[in-house]
Structure 1
Amino acid sequence: MGLNWNWREHRTLARFVLKWVLLAVPPALLAGSASAFFLWALDVVTRTRWAHPELIWLLPLAGVPIVLIYGRYGKGSEGGNDLLMEHIHEPGAGVPTRLAPLVLGGTLVTHLFGGSAGREGTAIQMAGGLAAGTARALRLSEADTQLLLMCGVAAGFGSVFGTPLTGAVFALEVLTIGRVSYEALIPCLVASVIGDWTCHAWGIHHLDYHRAISGAESLDLLLVVKAAMAGSVFGLTSVLFAELSHALKDGFGRVSRPWLRPVLGGLAVILISRLLGTTDYLGLGVTAPPSNPGAVTILSCFHDGGAGMMSWWWKLLLTALTLSCGFKGGEVTPLFFIGAALGNTLARPLGLPVDLAAGLGFVAVFAGATNTPLACTIMGIELFGAAHTVPLAAACFFAYYFSGHTGIYSSQRVGTPKTGRPDVLAGQALRELRPARRRRDNDGAMTGGAIMSTKPHDIHAREMGQLRIYIPSGERRKPKGLRERLFNPPLYREIIHAAKKDGILNATAHGVQYGYSGAGQPLAPHPEHGNAKLVLCVELIAHRGELETFCRQHAEILKGRVIVYKHLEHWDLRQDDVVVHDATKKELKEGA
């Protein structure tokens, strides 16, 4: 009986690990250093605001330069975390390096003048911008750039919160609901650990979330049931936060002058704070200012009487207002506040210890809002110890399911739908489900098609062509030299890179769940490591002449493939009367 061992496979694995250990370290060092500076600067501006509470009155004006600078120099940077996710899912124009200084400055201004925001978004976006810059400097392929961006997400999250394992799992889990990218397991772990170590090496100490929470040490079934009940409420709360944030953002988006949006939002934040008679729900909300030691904060929520019955709601509302009107920052730290305060409120009705209920809410609302139950369970263990692993997991898992197909990241995609709803399909982004949900509610049933714009537009059609090329997903060209051995991308990625270089309008690769090509045998992906022989489809869209030229120029790699051409019609929307017409003779001639 022989051993099922292939030394070539393990050589390839060792080469992959070595490559990504070397590639993940530089952006992780940069991300950890950026997080260290950011945390130091954030502490400075927070203390400045505490010393000068009158700065809150300048909040509406402070948002104007943020919006104007992003509008003039951002060039797509407004997408923030969603921009990173979109580029990881489908490479486009790239993540601009300027994203790092823009979001850093915008977040510090937001906190200086009293906006209610967090910090994880800033750390992740800085790390993503730096990782993208590193990829461009090293001239990495788009596939390697995607993986390096995931390393940036891991390093940014792990370094800003001091939770390296959570940072690694978060980067793997947050991109696609219900699926984890195991290919990035080691690169993300290396990046998160190095990022956290670098941040500590600069002498930065994270705020003390770490604390032991009370309750039974042994597994208590009733405690787990209570945690699951609380998790359901936390999941519904995450839906409220996500949907309110999206609705407010849509509302502010209707304001024709962008600079006016933060003015209106800032005035609303000031008005609500004045009506409440407190500034407890402004800023980061982790610790209390020296002048008001009795303020409601994340840390106070772990004690009986440390939060009011509606504290969670006021933090939720002010954070949604702040981030929806153009101010910068993250959502995660406010979600910690919302969850801990709500846990404090639910502790007595559910018969839970206050600190345990606050700890469950701390991680579970975050789990529901980001659809990352595994990462949040691990965070609970890293912060509160392993004694309550099962209740923490129950709260996070139930919050994940009860949050439905919603979340704070619109570019997050559905990998495995949480339910059997026919209108939720694998591969859809959450932003695609929101208008679908509105159409279903208004019409009583799903109706296909796009959202009709309230502005009149003219639809101009012209002839295009679609080329579909079917190849095995794991096929590669025979490498020449050491560099190609280390950085030899799969053939389908090489085709897409060549299409980009040749100016093809659109090039994407579509996975296949089951099928065959060229009269071969039907194949299916392996549940753990895929199937390199399973065919996938590379789709190119351009004029027919351009596609024919592309095939001739790259005949070496396309020869013998199953290639299918299909006629399409390309639509351009131009602001004018709403008229749909056939392509003109001139356009048909140009597209031929």
Structure 2
Amino acid sequence: MKIMRIFLYAGVFVKWIIIASITGVLGGFIGVAFNKSISYVTGLHQQYPALLFLMPVLGLLIVLMYDKAKLSGDGGTNLILHSIRHLKGVPIIIAPMIFISTVLTHLVGGSAGREGAALQLGGSIGAQVGRIFRLSQKDMNVAVMCGMGALFSALFGTPLTAAFFAMEVIAVGVLYYSAFVPCVVSSLVAYAISYLFKGFTLPYNPPKVPHLSLISMLQTGGLAILCAFISILFCLIMKYTKEGLTKLFKNPYIRMLCGGVIFIALALIFGDEYTGLGAKTIVTAVNEGHAKYYDFILKMIFTAVTMAIGFKGGEIVPTLFIGSTFGCAIGAHLGLDPTFGAAIGIVAVFCGVVNCPIASILLSIELFGGEGTAFYVVAVCISYMLSGYYSIYSSQRFAYSKLRAEYVNMKAN
């Protein structure tokens, strides 16, 4: 009997190694293509800034595409999370839709990231691989998580973060250990392919980590507390901007047209630093320790308008922008080196908006090295607890309380 169990475990192990590897290969190549597409159109926008004025026109095209595909509601990352939690299939149409719409968003300078596309592209790829292997619905959900991790890894070059993010983000307080091997394998395979074809860059230098002492821990803790409130503020701005513009412009086409004009006005007033990914500003904050004290709030506004009117992409890269600039500017006033403050800001705000503490700790190590791990862990712990039940993903659910060992099963605020 025991021998039969060993063969059973071995069979399941081999099955997931094969499925995860295939998913990782597909995710790696699609991730490279997607990342290079985003880089190309970003370069076009920087070369021809007048593309900004096409925002309402291309925005209307995105609305039309989603309307015809019957994804005119929230057909984004929230749909993926909802599908996994409720054992429902992931529509195949999501993959080409999010690829095209995210590229168009960055072509006109929309303030958005890439992880939304990564999770949706990856989820769709994983679902298709699962259908080919005729997986059960529960195994299909693991395949979807494999795809999510693979694309995240290929785009950001952080395979361990990607694997645990895919497992943690579905339901806060529950870690899907059955997806551990599949997600790690798919993420590593996708990372290897993306690395081979230069699908990502990690441009951050190790920050100047302070000596481990009570004072430096208190300084880090103080910054983490502030970052927790910044993450709440970002979630609230995202939520109420969308609700407000939806209420003001009930027709999605009118909302996109008017919202596009609003975004153009903001860009003309405050400059193009807050359009697009904002990667240069993040690198400047982390590597050089320079950021303006109002950078983070303007990025929040630009991102909220972009996503609320119907453009696509994601909120993670804007979150890194917000965290790095806030941490850089405020950390110096707390006695921390600005570069280290930027690193703490990235990790703490990231954790505060996605509620994935393990993935956040791994992100700090994969981006900045392991020297300051103790500080990053403290920042993540503080931000995770103090950020409450807020999330940038409205369909994210909290299975267990952040305050006590209690099952709550509540939706994000």
Secondary structure of the corresponding residue to residue 393 of structure 2: coil
Secondary structure of the corresponding residue to residue 428 of structure 1: strand
Residue identity matched to 2:305: L
Q: Please tell me whether the aligned partners of residues 304 and 344 of structure 1 are also in contact (alpha carbons under 8 angstroms).
A: no
Q: Deviations over 1:327-351 (max 9, x none)?
A: 0001101100000000111122110
Structure 2: distance between partners of 1:125 and 1:300: 30
Query: Out of 4, 7, 12, which is 2:8 matched to?
Result: 12
Residue identity matched to 2:264: I
**Where does residue 127 of structure 1 map in the other structure?**
122
Secondary structure of the corresponding residue to residue 298 of structure 1: helix
Shift of 1:36: 0.3
**Where does residue 65 of structure 1 map in the other structure?**
61
**Where does residue 151 of structure 1 map in the other structure?**
146
**Where does residue 312 of structure 2 map in the other structure?**
328
**Which one has the largest radius of gyration?**
1
Shift of 1:425: 5.7
Q: Please tell me whether the aligned partners of residues 290 and 329 of structure 2 are also in contact (alpha carbons under 8 angstroms).
A: no
Q: Please tell me whether the aligned partners of residues 60 and 257 of structure 2 are also in contact (alpha carbons under 8 angstroms).
A: yes
Q: Deviations over 1:104-150 (max 9, x none)?
A: 11011111101100011111211111111222222221111111011
Shift of 1:305: 6.2
Q: Please tell me whether the aligned partners of residues 319 and 350 of structure 2 are also in contact (alpha carbons under 8 angstroms).
A: yes
Residue identity matched to 1:108: V
Instruction: Please show how residues 18-29 of structure 1 align to structure 2 within 5 Å.
Output: 18-29=14-25
Structure 1: distance between partners of 2:8 and 2:212: 44
Structure 2: distance between partners of 1:78 and 1:98: 14
Query: Out of 148, 171, 174, which is 1:176 matched to?
Result: 171
Residue identity matched to 1:213: P
**Where does residue 114 of structure 1 map in the other structure?**
109
Instruction: Please show how residues 518-557 of structure 1 align to structure 2 within 5 Å.
Output: none
**Where does residue 215 of structure 1 map in the other structure?**
209
Q: Please tell me whether the aligned partners of residues 70 and 78 of structure 1 are also in contact (alpha carbons under 8 angstroms).
A: no
TM-score, length of structure 1 as denominator length: 0.67
Q: Deviations over 1:436-469 (max 9, x none)?
A: xxxxxxxxxxxxxxxxxxxxxxxxxxxxxxxxxx
Instruction: Please show how residues 306-325 of structure 1 align to structure 2 within 5 Å.
Output: 306-325=290-309
TM-score, length of structure 2 as denominator length: 0.95
Q: Please tell me whether the aligned partners of residues 116 and 318 of structure 1 are also in contact (alpha carbons under 8 angstroms).
A: yes
Q: Please tell me whether the aligned partners of residues 316 and 350 of structure 2 are also in contact (alpha carbons under 8 angstroms).
A: yes
> Structure 1 residue 268 and structure 2 residue 241: aligned?
no
Q: Please tell me whether the aligned partners of residues 128 and 152 of structure 1 are also in contact (alpha carbons under 8 angstroms).
A: yes
Query: Out of 202, 224, 227, which is 2:220 matched to?
Result: 227
Q: Please tell me whether the aligned partners of residues 31 and 199 of structure 2 are also in contact (alpha carbons under 8 angstroms).
A: no
Structure 1: distance between partners of 2:146 and 2:286: 33
| Larger relative contact order (CA 8 Å, sep ≥ 6) | 2
Query: Out of 298, 317, 336, which is 2:282 matched to?
Result: 298
**Where does residue 385 of structure 2 map in the other structure?**
401
Query: Out of 243, 268, 274, which is 2:236 matched to?
Result: 243
**Where does residue 31 of structure 1 map in the other structure?**
27
Shift of 1:225: 1.9
**Two-structure CA RMSD over aligned residues (Å):** 1.9
**Where does residue 456 of structure 1 map in the other structure?**
none
Structure 1: distance between partners of 2:328 and 2:309: 29
Structure 2: distance between partners of 1:146 and 1:302: 36
Structure with greater helix share of residues: 2
Secondary structure of the corresponding residue to residue 427 of structure 1: strand
Percent identity over the alignment is: 33
Structure 1: distance between partners of 2:221 and 2:357: 13
Of 312-321 and 7-16, more deviation after overlay is shown by 7-16
Shift of 1:429: 2.4
Of 264-273 and 366-375, more deviation after overlay is shown by 264-273
Q: Please tell me whether the aligned partners of residues 30 and 127 of structure 1 are also in contact (alpha carbons under 8 angstroms).
A: no
Structure 1 residues 305 and 140: alpha-carbon distance in aligned structure 2, compared to 1, 3 A threshold: closer
Q: Please tell me whether the aligned partners of residues 273 and 279 of structure 1 are also in contact (alpha carbons under 8 angstroms).
A: yes
**Where does residue 426 of structure 1 map in the other structure?**
408
Secondary structure of the corresponding residue to residue 410 of structure 2: coil
Structure 1 residues 253 and 77: alpha-carbon distance in aligned structure 2, compared to 1, 3 A threshold: closer
The unaligned stretches of length 5 or more in structure 2 are: none
Residue identity matched to 2:318: P
Shift of 1:251: 2.1
> Structure 1 residue 81 and structure 2 residue 66: aligned?
no
Shift of 1:86: 0.9
Shift of 1:73: 1.4
The unaligned stretches of length 5 or more in structure 1 are: 288-296, 435-592
Q: Please tell me whether the aligned partners of residues 111 and 306 of structure 2 are also in contact (alpha carbons under 8 angstroms).
A: yes
Residue identity matched to 1:105: I
Structure 1: distance between partners of 2:7 and 2:223: 48
Shift of 1:207: 2.6
Structure 1 residues 75 and 205: alpha-carbon distance in aligned structure 2, compared to 1, 3 A threshold: closer
Q: Please tell me whether the aligned partners of residues 228 and 394 of structure 1 are also in contact (alpha carbons under 8 angstroms).
A: yes
Query: Out of 325, 350, 375, which is 1:366 matched to?
Result: 350
Q: Please tell me whether the aligned partners of residues 77 and 96 of structure 1 are also in contact (alpha carbons under 8 angstroms).
A: no
Residue identity matched to 1:286: A
Structure 1: distance between partners of 2:93 and 2:198: 24
Of 72-81 and 55-64, more deviation after overlay is shown by 72-81
